[in-house]
Chain A
């Protein structure tokens, strides 16, 4: 076995026997990837249904119809209960919210374009405030569907319109003549055959199937113009955190060889100082390759990652590893003790990680700060890794980030090696 390879294997062996290093190069990045993947909506599985409880205190056909529609919605997992039972279920944390239809709901529903609207009381679990806004939105959506029914059931709606028109006419003078005119014309329209013609579900003309807003769902991941799920964003970032762990672990081995005197023994052996550096760099390179490959494998097997190009991913990983091996060598040449490396490496690396977008998403940064990110090799590593995972980069698009990473590798390696040589 060549001495260079022997040094590399020795370093990898000692690396695998340091539990703290292993934790920070593999376990911690994985935890970060999974945690943030979940927070960013990581899974491509269906959104879980919101568990709610519904109490109908009105008991009119209109309120019953509202509850029926609520129960069958696929966004809710709703159960019916009395007001007391509903509040108890929320208090015990069994349901995240109680939707209570107050008395008068049905009567208010029959009024068109005037008077107080139907009232729904929403009682939420204080610990589930995050879902409250979503719930309110969904209830407003269901309320708007009342307008849709105006056209999908012309006969029933005409009755409501006529009732509203009658009430407006009985009202004291000073009402709204414009509203009465509108209701009259609407009544006339609902009585015509045109309003009955269109088959529900059709889409070619106005009439029975009119909708206030149609939302067309477009699944980005299936068109591969975006990440399939949050994990495809968080795993490349986690891979960079794994690299950070390697920087710390292997940067420290240079210092510990020096402090413990083993570097003396390596330098007395019949091999050049360049060979010693090469062997130690090779160990760091292999370690980065291994942890990145392991994380990607776990991402594919357990979290639905589907890299768009395995070949380009391998290139991105190799270029990232090369760049950071150079950085390790440079950092190791700047500090002579383990404590020195332990203090300096985070101080240097953290800003690079911050600017590179590995700590907080670039979208949260002011533009000038996000622009500075291009000075960080972390940014280019993330671009390269994301390019191969979900950005659908071709070879031409991968050239720039990879070339920059290799340039970083060469510059830092040469400077680091010269500084070590002169030491």
Chain B
């Protein structure tokens, strides 16, 4: 659905994206996981045609590069900034963005209604966006991206600065979009969001894709083995093992087990093992 091939993007002497290649499959949610400044937003901007790469190519399905109007019609983008007009109501915002995609009349109205309902803002539709909370603006930002029913939706850190309630509402919206069969690219620096939402995750740092796979596969490949912590006969035993249950059985056969817990590997450890840093660094 979206193919980025050997993308290079420089800002002066700084290389923001360095030979990055990604293929997003139809119907999947691909996560771009990396710390701030890793090159996620630049990658998004190149993918949407907002930035011209210094090298490499971008293709959206069979519609060609994102500069082509046909490709753009199939593309929805929710930028990291709250790209809505505070002085307009939610309804006016969506009607305006719909007109940019050629919607008009009853079909425009129907799409506006559906989009507002989709993000749960139907009851505040006539209020000026300037009066909304940050979470509500984020939801409207997503509604504006999916208003014209694009096949490919790119969401650039859509949960930054929102309250837990709005975050859950945004997760629900994204899962609904996936259920509708849309393809999504989701950039985040929150590991737990990538785990919850994404079918595959690309670990990005310094403009490069360090690894790209499903979460379990990434963990298997890069995060090491689970760690079993057991208290047996008054002593603490810590062991790294690919089969914690078998190891626990073995220890309990030797002496009564007083307590235990398994420390499962996470994406954080994947990132740490790949970069030597944590996501929060």
Contact = CB atoms under 8 A, between A and B. Distances in A.
B93 to A, nearest CB: 9
Given A6-B96, A6-B99, A268 B85 contact: no
Contact of B87 (A1, A6, A18, A268): A18
Contacts of B225: none
Interface residues of A, number: 20
Interface in B38-65: 45, 48-50
A262 B101 contact: no
B224 interface: no
Interface stretch (B76-84, B111-119, B212-220): B76-84
Given A260-B83, A264-B50, A270-B100, A14 B88 contact: yes
B96 A270 contact: no
Given A270-B69, A271-B100, A10 B85 contact: yes
B97 interface: yes
Contacts of B77: 264-265, 268
A419 interface: no
* Count class of interface residues, chain B: 20 to 34
A17 B129 CA distance: 13
A137 interface: no
Interface in B13-52: 45, 48-50
A9 to B, nearest CB: 8
B96 A261 contact: no
A266 interface: yes
A10 B83 contact: no
A169 interface: no
A3 interface: yes
B104 interface: yes
A264 B141 CA distance: 12
Contacts of B97: 265, 269
B151 to A, nearest CB: 14
B101 A270 contact: yes
Contacts of B49: 267-268
A13 interface: yes
A261 B50 contact: no
A13 B86 CA distance: 12
A408 to B, nearest CB: 30
Contacts of A268: 48-50, 72, 75, 77
Contacts of A17: 87, 128
Interface string B142-178: 0010000000000000000000000000000000000
8 contacts: A6-B96, A17-B128, A260-B81, A261-B80, A265-B79, A265-B144, A269-B97, A269-B100
Given A264-B45, A271-B69, 12 more contacts: A1-B99, A10-B96, A13-B92, A14-B85, A260-B81, A261-B81, A261-B82, A262-B84, A265-B79, A265-B83, A269-B72, A269-B101
**Which 4 A-B pairs rank lowest in CB-CB distance, beginning with the nearest?**
A261-B81, A6-B99, A261-B83, A269-B100
